[in-house]
Amino acid sequence: TSSGGKAAKKKKWSKGKVKDKAQHAVAVDKVLFDRIVKEVPTFRMISVSTLIDRLKVNGSLARRAIQHLEKEGHIKRIVHHSRQLIYS
């Protein structure tokens, strides 16, 4: 029989992986705006998350960019869901 208490080996919990804080743009400058207008309509699937990932912008900026491009007629909506908007 193994004796419990202090003699038993204590479980070491892994510290977990620390994710680096993403340095995303929070404002649009001329260069970024030109990139959005030129590149985004060429993406096969356009959603807030793809813009965040590829252009390194924050979520609110990505949503505004998509709204702008849709209003200008550069992209068209495929799926409209309360949380996930998908464009092409």
- pLDDT-derived band of residue 79, with 50, 70 and 90 as boundaries? confident
**Residues 88, 79: Cα–Cα separation, whole Å:** 10
Q: Give the relative orientation of helices 59-72 and 48-55 as an angle to the nearest 10 degrees.
A: 110
Match 């965040």 to its residue by tokens.
52
Question: What is the per-residue pLDDT across 50-67, written as a single tens digit (0 to 9) for each?
Answer: 888 888 888 888 888 888
pLDDT score for 4: 58
- pLDDT-derived band of residue 7, with 50, 70 and 90 as boundaries? low
Q: Is 58 left (phi over 0), alpha (psi -120 to 50) or beta?
A: beta
Q: Average of pLDDT values for 62-80?
A: 83
Question: What is the per-residue pLDDT across 33-45, written as a single tens digit (0 to 9) for each?
Answer: 888 888 888 888 8
